[in-house]
Amino acid sequence: MIPRYFFMTKGVGKHKENLSSFELALRDAGIQHCNIVTVSSIIPPGCKLIPKEKGVQMLQPGEITFVVLARNSTEEPHRLIATSIGVAIPSEENQYGISPNTTRTGRQRRSQGIIQRILPRRC
């Protein structure tokens, strides 16, 4: 099972129950109809980035869908939380890429900065 395509999406869910907020985030991301399986951040050689709309159309309800997931939650009202995912695809097609992620509380810019520092090391 080596993927040939991947797409990026994002979602936000707000609810007093953690599971309900996660379900709302999946709906916001457009992948609520999939069975989500979290994987590490390796992008196989030759795997192509496609638009979200095309990727979602390729998914069938109930399909096992492998994801690199960055997830964060809080029980503190109005608390700033952030997650970031980046993608590094080498110029040589026979090399694998990476999709690192980070999670932070209170500092969205710091989360993005960490990803920006990680990516140049790979490509």
Residue 51's pLDDT is what?
96
Q: Is the pTM of this model over 0.85?
A: no
- Show the tokens assigned to 77: 């009202």
Model confidence pLDDT, tens digit, residues 9-47? 999 988 888 889 999 999 999 999 999 999 988 999 999
Q: Which of 49-63, 71-85, 96-110 has the highest mean pLDDT?
A: 49-63
Q: Where are the domains of the chain?
A: 5-122
- CATH says 5-122 is which class? alpha beta
Residue 58, burial from CB neighbour count under 10 angstroms (0-12, 13-18, 19+): exposed
What's the N-to-C CA distance of the chain in angstroms? 25
